[in-house]
Amino acid sequence: MREFFRGAGMLGGGFAFWRRRPAVMALGLIPAAIAGLIVVAGFVALGFTLPGIATALTPFAEDWPAPWEDVARFTAGTAVVVAALMLVAISFTALTLFLGEPFYDRIWRAVETDLGDPPADSSYGFWRALGDGLSLVARGLVIALAAALLGLLPVVGGLVGGTTAVLLTGWLLADELASRALAARGLTGRRRRVLRRRHRARVLGFGVATQLCFLVPLGAVATMPAAVAGATLLSRSLLEGEPENRAERRPETPTAG
């Protein structure tokens, strides 16, 4: 648990960079606000169509006596909402990172420079950002589907589905956000995965803290610059005590690990 809370604290360290680099951090609010408006519009549309979706998912309950028909449809609606919340968080992150690549690149470089020993400059590029965003959304869809299925469990479905989704989505967010700093130091995808598994609790703590902030109204917009800064802190912490030269390390263009 100590490692879990250490990882969560690195998001707080990301927020602390507002005092050190307020102008750079403020730039990160622009793409986050644009992405936030888009995903909120989608979630509002879901709210209007949710009763119809819940009814369509439970045709078998039409002849059930009260209150079981309502219970079945409430359970189905809850499962859809849980899945949608997870997908919104993933879609928001992917869209924000894509729209705000130049802004978040500046935040990442500022944190690296302030902490010393920054990696060599590396180009991310439009197509790489697009590919990583689509990959993130695809993985998020799998998590959303799993959350929806778990949400259909009687009585405990909402709790089990929501908890599982927060953990899985948190891991996915930490993976995506930390990839740039690790790849910029020449770590291959395989090496990054090994490193994250070795410090699983710390990575999960950062990701879950970020995900929970994203679920607060307007929290995703306010948190995104700090999440980028905090992920840089996380990446550097994962490398503490690591040998500087390994056979599997090689320079590469940053990708999502």
pLDDT in tens, 56-74: 877 777 777 777 777 777 8
The 10 Å Cβ neighbour count of residue 254 is: 23
Q: Binning pLDDT at 50, 70 and 90, where does residue 243 land?
A: low
Residue 75 has pLDDT above 80, yes or no: no
Is residue 39 classed as helix, strand or coil in its secondary structure?
helix
Determine contact, residues 183/254, Cβ cutoff 8 Å. yes
Q: Looking at residues 123-150, what average pLDDT do you find?
A: 69
The span from the CA of 208 to the CA of 28, in Å, is 21
Give the mean model confidence (pLDDT) for residues 146-155. 70
Q: Which residues contact 79 (CB under 8 A, 6 or more apart)?
A: 147, 148, 149, 150, 151, 152, 157, 158, 161
| Mean pLDDT of the 197-219 span | 87
Look at residue 250 and tell me whether its pLDDT is greater than 60: no
Give the mean pLDDT of the chain: 78
Residues 181, 108 contacting (CB under 8 angstroms): yes
Most confident of 51-65, 83-97, 143-157, 167-181: 167-181
Written as six digits, the tokens of 230 are 């905090």
What does pTM read for this prediction?
0.73
pLDDT, residue 249, reads 42
213, 223 Cβ separation under 8 angstroms: yes
b/e per residue 82-113 (b: at least 16 CB within 10 A) = bbbbbbbbbbbbbbbbbbbbebbbbbbbbbbe
| pLDDT above 60: residue 144 | yes
